[in-house]
Amino acid sequence: MLNVAFAQLNFTVGDIEGNKKKIIQTIEKYKTEANVILFPELSLSGYPPEDLLLQPHFWDACRDALKEIVRKTRGSDTLVCVGTPYYELDLYNALVLIHDGQVVGVYKKHFLPNYGVFDECRYFRRGEEEFLVKLNDYLISFSICEDIWYPDGVERRGALSGAHLILNTNASPYHAGKYEFKERFLRARAQDNLCFVGYLNLVGAQDELVFDGRSLVIAPDGELVARAKAFEEDVLVVSLELEDVRRKRALDLRWREASSQTRPLRIITSILSEKRPLRGGRIEESPKGEEELYTALVLGLRDYAKKNNFPGAVLGLSGGIDSSLVACIASDALGSENVLGVFMPSEFSSKESYEDAKALAKALGIRFLVVPIDEVFKTFRKELTKTLEKSEFTLADENIQARIRANILFYISNELGYLVLSTSNKSESAVGYTTIYGDMSGGFAPIKDVYKTLVYKLARYRNKKSPVIPERVFKKPPSAELRPNQRDQDTLPPYELLDKILRLYVEENLSPEEIVSRGFPKDVVYRTVALIRKSEYKRKQAPVGTKVTKRAFGKDWRMPITNRFLL
């Protein structure tokens, strides 16, 4: 029996001193409960450190902090495993194994992801050595994140070399639907290798990425024996009956045959660790659907504001569904007392919009200001129409209203130090139905990666918790209210149709022809793709926002602005 502590913690990129202290405090607290304490991938530096990794003095700071962690383990028989950048002739993404004041091994990540949001080949050299650690009578193999996604990779060779337990440490970003797939393939890894699989994931948010935690332990029969909390810090201590592995392998001729043909990995160290108190595995609830997505958005905003030292947030409240949802997310993330909603009416703003914005603010308990823009707008228009010798009301007159509102929000931001929240959603951003330096402006965009149809679903979910968004907001047609009787659908296809096309083009990478072949109207498909292409320059200047889909407009989407490739 071995006790393993999975330290699912929230670390901050570049806060090496703070991360070090959190690691040491966790070791001190759990060393009498666990034979092994495992920390997330690159926990000492925070993840992802990006181009900090190109600075040698950053490596040095991580090295010095690691030395102190090593010293703090003296006199303890617990094996401590810390993720850190590790320099040895070149830089590696490493898991440093520490026991009783000594570094007993360094596992260097083998498979470096270089797709989607990942750029690890830019920073690290690929590791090559694999090994086992003998702890009491049991063998443990180690891997880092991407390594376990290859079925015949590191964990397979470790298992065939006799490993009873595979420990995999991660900083695996969240997107909707990913957790279910991850749990299925981890069950398969445990069953295929007839061993326990311990999967530790980072929790917290960093810029556009959010990490959901939900660390797992899977038994050799594929059963889930423990799961940590979702989207929260948690230290999961589990007692593992590793003798089960020997019993199952003794009855499995396939494993015996495969292992007999494998050159066993070397055992780099043997450790004796006293028996710890029995700790039964707990299985925490795993949220699904809108609950999961909403929780991710709240964590994304909370960590962005907290880690960048913003005391609160300010946003424009229009009385529409987007700003209503963002206000809810902000209130839940930062506390209602730290959120300011500003209603900025023009001559085109309806009485109902004011009533709905005010009712929402009151229900949430956030501060509410009314700052009319009529006089400023009239002054702008008077001067500009005279200068440009124009009289008709055009798109430029619509957009200047959005830009006036953005200026007001940033003025308040400068005065209070608050973070300006953009309320643009993914559907609008995709086709450019948003004003650059206007409503798309901000320091953070909580629903940047949320389609319009999903905005409504998330708002409904939030209202089930407490009915704060007025029912009328759900029923009235979406409108920017920048000209008389304006409706989104005057310019765009119905959102139900638009969002389906966007998902196929952006996330599934289908060509326009392939989308049309699935029964979508050809004119709508090609017009939508043309709008996506045309709006690239806007998105390049948009604020960062939490990634929650497979492919977000950010690191996932690196299209050139200047682009003449045919649709």
| pLDDT for 282 beyond 90 | yes
**Cα–Cα distance between 314 and 258 in angstroms, integer?**
61
| 370: in domain | yes
Show Cβ contacts of residue 234 under 8 Å, excluding neighbours closer than 6 positions.
8, 203, 213, 215, 228, 284
Residues 341 and 197 in one domain: no
Higher pLDDT, 271 or 262: 271
pLDDT on residue 567? 67
- Point out which residues pair with 134 in neighbouring strands: 139, 270
pLDDT at 355: 96
pLDDT 10s digits, 384-402: 888 888 778 888 888 899 9
More confident residue, 298 or 350: 298
* CATH number of the domain encompassing residue 481: 3.40.50.620
Query: Considering the domain boundaries, does residue 289 fall inside one?
Result: no
255 lies in the same domain as 132: yes
Mean pLDDT across the stretch 208-236?
97
Q: Please list, residue by residue across 378-409, b when 16 or more beta carbons sit within 10 angstroms of its beta carbon and e when fewer do.
A: eebbeeebeeeeeeeeeeebbbbbbbbbbebb
User: Is 41 one of the catalytic residues?
Assistant: yes
What confidence tens digit (pLDDT) does each residue in 156-201 have? 899 999 999 999 999 999 999 999 999 999 999 999 999 999 999 9
Same domain, 241 and 319: no
Domain C-terminal end among 255, 271, 287: 271
Residue 551: inside a domain, yes or no? Answer: no
What residues make up the domain containing 9?
A: 2-271
Residues 376 and 429 in one domain: yes
Indicate which residue of 20, 22, 41, 292 is catalytic.
41
Q: Determine, yes or no, domain membership for 286.
A: no
Q: How many Cα atoms are found within 13 Å in the side-chain-facing hemisphere of 452? A: 26
The edge-to-edge listing of strands for the beta sheet with 2-8 is 102-108, 91-99, 79-87, 36-38, 2-8, 234-240
Tally the residues of the chain: 567
How high is the pLDDT of residue 254? 84
Q: Percent of the chain at pLDDT above 70?
A: 98
Q: Residue 281 falls within a domain, yes or no?
A: no
Q: How many domains does the chain have?
A: 2
Same domain, residue pair 263 and 304: no
Based on the domain organization, do 159 and 35 belong to the same domain? yes
Claim to verify: residue 32 and residue 127 sit in the same structural domain: yes
SS3 169: strand
Q: Is 109 a catalytic residue?
A: yes
pLDDT band at 480 (very low <50, low <70, confident <90, very high): low
Which is nearest to 170 in space by CA: 278, 280, 77, 42? 42
Catalytic residue among 62, 81, 145, 195: 145
Same domain membership, residue 346 and residue 219: no
Same domain, 200 and 324: no
- The answer to whether residue 12 sits within a structural domain is yes
How much is the average pLDDT of 83-93?
A: 96
Looking at residue 213, what DSSP letter applies?
A: B
pLDDT of 93: 97
Output the pLDDT for position 274. 94
Q: Please pick, among 22, 31, 109, 538, the residue that the annotation labels catalytic.
A: 109
Residue 363 — very low, low, confident or very high, per pLDDT cuts 50/70/90?
Answer: very high
Over residues 248-262, the pLDDT tens digits come to: 988 888 888 888 888
